[in-house]
Structures are given as structure tokens and as C-alpha cells.
Amino acid sequence: MGKHFKYLFFSFIILNVQTYLSPLISIKQISPDLLLIWIVYIALKEGQFTGIIWGFVIGLMFDLSGGLFIGLAAMTKTIAGFLAGYFHGENKAPLTLGSYRFVLIILLVSLVHSVIYFVLFTRGSDIGFWKAIFQYGVATSFYTSAVSLLPMFIFGRKYLT
């Protein structure tokens, strides 16, 4: 039960960083999804079921803090936790977290997450379907993957040395 309090504590911290500091590093309104990196980390360490639960909880916390489209982030981050859980290996989590596989998993999960999120988020606006996918979805995925290099190097030094 102690690890879940740790996850909740770090989720609040990352949510605040995502909400308040992420716009400072955004490039043309594209910012990395730090919460998604956290959800993938949890799913790789704990498994698919835990990734689904924490994806929903973190997504709902994000929805409630922003208030734009309640339930959208909860749904897409639950899907992200589900997908990331497929890559869970009982004894392989430290190896995966400290290698390029972590970045590739982030890229794959982020592509699915971002495409679903931005296609639904931009419905009814002037932004077209393909623009939502490529300008926002794919760009956000690559930016999130680039930012995930930092935790990959940290885990690589921590677990593999």
C-alpha cells in the first residue's frame, strides 16, 4: 500500500509541473505529456491492471484540474496504461526503463493516446481531422518521446550500474 501513496504523491507533483511549468517549454503550443511518461513508468513496473487504474486516476485528476473536457484525459490515459501494460515483464522492468525500449514504448503509447485525444478534443472546432492528427497528435508524441530520454538515462544509470 505504501507504493500507491508514493504514486499518488508523485502524480500530484507531476500534475502540477504539467499544468504550470509545461507551457514554459512548449513549442508552438505543443508541450510534452509528462503524465503519460509517469503512467507508462507505472505500467511497466507494476503491470497492465495497475497501469489502467493509475491511468484513469491520473487522467481524471488532470481533467478536474483543467476542466475543459471532463473524461477525455481519463479515457485516453486509461488506454495508455492498458497499452503500456503489454510491455510489462516481471523481471525486465529495470532493463526496459533504462534502455531505448522505454522511449519506443513511450512513442507508441503516446501516438495512440495523442491521436485519440486530439481527434476528440478538436471535434467541432476549425481544426480539421488530419491537422489534429499530424500537427498536434504526432508532434506531441515525438516531443514526449524526446523528453522521456531524460528518465531513460536516469534509470539506466540507476539500474544498470
SS3 68: coil
Provide the CA 109 distance to its chain's centre, in angstroms: 8
115/25 Cα distance (integer angstroms): 21
- Mean pLDDT value of segment 110-124: 88
pLDDT band at 131; cut points 50, 70, 90 = confident
Give the chain's mean pLDDT. Answer: 88
pLDDT tens digits along 20-35: 888 888 888 889 999 9
What is the chain's Cα-based Rg? 15
In terms of pTM, does the model score above 0.75?
A: yes
pLDDT tens digits along 55-91: 999 999 999 998 678 999 999 999 999 999 999 877 7
pLDDT at position 160 is: 57
How buried is 85 (Cβ within 10 angstroms: 0-12 exposed, 13-18 middle, 19+ buried)? buried
Whether the per-residue pLDDT at 98 is higher than 80: the answer is no
- Mean pLDDT value of segment 27-53: 93
pLDDT at position 161 is: 56
